[in-house]
Structure 1
Amino acid sequence: MPLLHRIRRCLLLMAGLFVLAIVARRQITGDGWLEAVYFFVITVTTVGYGERSVVGPVEQIYTIALILFGTTLVGYTIGLVLQAMFEGQIRRAMGLQRMTREISHIADHTIICGFGRMGKTLVDELKRRNKPFVVVDSDQESIVEACDEGLLAVHGDATDEDTLLAAGIERAKTLVVALRSDADNVFLTLTARNLSRSLRIIARGELLSTEKKLLQAGADRVILPAVIGARRIAQMVTRPHAADMLELVTDNQTLDAELEELSIGPGSPLTGKSVREAGTRQRHRVMIIAIRRSDGRMVFNPEPDELFCHDDTVIVMGKQPDVVAFQEAYKL
């Protein structure tokens, strides 16, 4: 039975005992209402009337029963109330310790600053891809919601260094800046860049004028939702079929295919092979969309004779099992 229901039931029992005790006292002794209330209070609080009883047997039996039942009920009710008051705090403290311990052990994770609409959508996508992340928000209700979903979360001002350190920024790979105001996003970007030079920072901005400020503050990429939305609408107007294809590619739940990027590390058999020799389409049923060279140059739709090199990033598209098999075959 829920705790609040038990408390409500005990309060009703106490009220019934109070009324019953007063009425019974008047019937047995003929005392007035005030005397009956006084009797109830000193009985259930175990104050007592003295070392020797001066009442008759009927009153003694009645008093014994009232003391036993009354003190038990009052003690139980007080215990439930105290449990309701402190249980949440104890559970929250234990959960905070567990969460702090788990955050201290993760690395190469993403820190999501802002658990709003964009933050929640990003969380769903990272969960689907099994990518580690930590949520940071200053709103207590948002943090409680995140914790209820089993997410790692830090309550605090994301623009504060201590909050970012608590989220493990020194071990993080990416920081997503998605606070509610552009000014906070700029300040957060500047703070995060001062804490970590190697951190990849992706920042959101509402105004066009904010993009330059975010880049100057240290953001690697700036996302302007209004601009992206306008461009998507323009594509739907001018190139509706191409826009539908792009939407299918980005929405993995609709299209049975994955768009994935794989890095060519040391010892990969793919190093030095051409696109033709790798046989990605014929043997692995994946398409090579592009190759990002180590110097940052992007080669779209590479020619069959294009060679794969060490530290390249291959962007492929295909069904998830095929992508995984291709990744394992070439140790990507």
Structure 2
Amino acid sequence: MKRFSELYKRIAILTLAIFIFIIFGTIGFTHSEGLNLLDAIWYSVMTLTTVGFQVPNNFSDEGKVITIFLMLFGVGAVLYGLTALSLEIFSGNIGKEYKFNLIKKRMKNLENHIIICGFGRNGRQAARKLILHKKPFVIIDKKPLENRDDEFADTIFIHGNAIEDDILKQAGIEKASGIIASLPSDADNLFIVISSKELNPKIKVISRASNSNTIKKLKTAGAENVIMPDKIGGEHMASLLITPDLVEFIDSIVLEGTKKINVLEIYTDKLPTQFIGKKIEDLSILPKTGCKIVGYKDSVGEYLINPDESKIIEENCCIFALGQPHQIEELQKIYPQD
């Protein structure tokens, strides 16, 4: 990264050196030979690039001295500068530097975002869900994402190893609200959990696990939730045989996240303060949007299914609303959660 941070400085120095010799030759030939500006520039460039078509008639001694100086010192410097600039362009370093600076610019004002560590199958599924819910996120992966799909064309991607603190800092770990550790190695995910909590104690960490023996270690390290994709997949397949219609119905609500949103979480600490201590019915969610309140999570983490509208709204709780996509959109406008 240090090389790319100094690339523009290097290019500026090389370009400046080229122009200094061109300007020196132009001024010299204008003064000594009486050439007009364009002819003086043309002869300076011709000398510095060793093209050398012909010498102007009645060339003065002063002009010859200037030409000798340009040949001895300028030609080497200019040819080296042009070669170095060409290498930077054709090697793709300038393009990489541009992308790197673009990421830095976008990261500057990014906060309360999600960091996805590892962009395999699970990482891509998480990214699609975040895009659906319009949540800002940053992807970290060791493999370059040169040929990314169109659906991820505008995502912020950082090429690097997520277990390194510098890479996590580059992804804005200090200002992030959550991180998803979806690397294939449980050891690497454990390292990410520990590093994330050290860099940002308030961040919420969701980790993937391949071995059930590491779940306890990941939670001890600070992960709020640990997911075993293989286990969930097996249980889901079994449920499709036992209660197929129920599972498919729930999937259509929660998991069919590529086109629509049917459930919304309303955090009470993001509601207007006048609603704290009031009843759920005072929110007027059903008459205003058509959405129905289907769940309530209290401050200690207990869930209440289908709460009564007389339920008192408390601080640090969460209300779950169910509705059709257009109803959820209307609810988001009335009670935004961002």
What TM-score do you get using the length of structure 1 for normalisation?
A: 0.69
Residue 177 of structure 1 pairs with residue 181 of structure 2: yes
Alpha-carbon distance, 1:282 to partner:
4.4
Alpha-carbon distance, 1:305 to partner:
2.3
Residue 267 of structure 1 pairs with residue 272 of structure 2: yes
The 1:282–1:197 alpha-carbon spacing in structure 2 relative to 1, beyond 3 Å, is same
User: After superposition, where does 1:155-234 map in structure 2 within 5 Å?
Assistant: 155-234=159-238
Match of 1:280 in 2: 285
The 1:253–1:207 alpha-carbon spacing in structure 2 relative to 1, beyond 3 Å, is closer
The 1:166–1:277 alpha-carbon spacing in structure 2 relative to 1, beyond 3 Å, is closer
The 1:136–1:176 alpha-carbon spacing in structure 2 relative to 1, beyond 3 Å, is same
The one-letter code matched in structure 1 to 2:205 is I
Separation of aligned partners in 2, 1:330 and 1:94 = 39
The SS at the match of 2:202 is coil
The SS at the match of 1:222 is strand
The 1:297–1:117 alpha-carbon spacing in structure 2 relative to 1, beyond 3 Å, is same
Unaligned runs of 5+ in 1: 1-44, 52-77
User: After superposition, where does 1:92-111 map in structure 2 within 5 Å?
Assistant: 92-111=96-115
The one-letter code matched in structure 1 to 2:103 is M
The one-letter code matched in structure 1 to 2:255 is D
Q: Give the alignment partner of residue 145 of structure 1, picking from 135, 148, 153.
A: 148
The one-letter code matched in structure 2 to 1:101 is K
Question: Do the aligned residues in 1 keep the contact of 2:128 with 2:258 (CA within 8 Å)?
Answer: no
The one-letter code matched in structure 1 to 2:230 is A
The one-letter code matched in structure 1 to 2:207 is A
Q: Percent identity?
A: 25
Match of 2:307 in 1: 302
Unaligned runs of 5+ in 2: 1-49, 56-81
Q: Give the alignment partner of residue 132 of structure 1, picking from 122, 130, 136.
A: 136
Residue 316 of structure 1 pairs with residue 321 of structure 2: yes
The 1:133–1:280 alpha-carbon spacing in structure 2 relative to 1, beyond 3 Å, is same
Describe the superposition over 1:212-258 as per-residue Cα deviations: whole angstroms up to 9, x where unpaired. 11111211110111111121112111111111111111234588652
Alpha-carbon distance, 1:99 to partner:
0.7
Question: Do the aligned residues in 2 keep the contact of 1:118 with 1:178 (CA within 8 Å)?
Answer: yes
Question: Do the aligned residues in 2 keep the contact of 1:317 with 1:323 (CA within 8 Å)?
Answer: yes
Question: Do the aligned residues in 2 keep the contact of 1:137 with 1:154 (CA within 8 Å)?
Answer: yes
Question: Do the aligned residues in 1 keep the contact of 2:132 with 2:257 (CA within 8 Å)?
Answer: no
Question: Do the aligned residues in 2 keep the contact of 1:134 with 1:153 (CA within 8 Å)?
Answer: yes
Question: How many residue pairs end up in the alignment?
Answer: 260
The SS at the match of 2:187 is helix
Question: Do the aligned residues in 1 keep the contact of 2:114 with 2:138 (CA within 8 Å)?
Answer: yes
Separation of aligned partners in 2, 1:277 and 1:250 = 27
The 1:109–1:277 alpha-carbon spacing in structure 2 relative to 1, beyond 3 Å, is closer
Point out the structure with max Rg over C-alpha: 1
What TM-score do you get using the length of structure 2 for normalisation?
A: 0.68
Separation of aligned partners in 2, 1:303 and 1:134 = 39
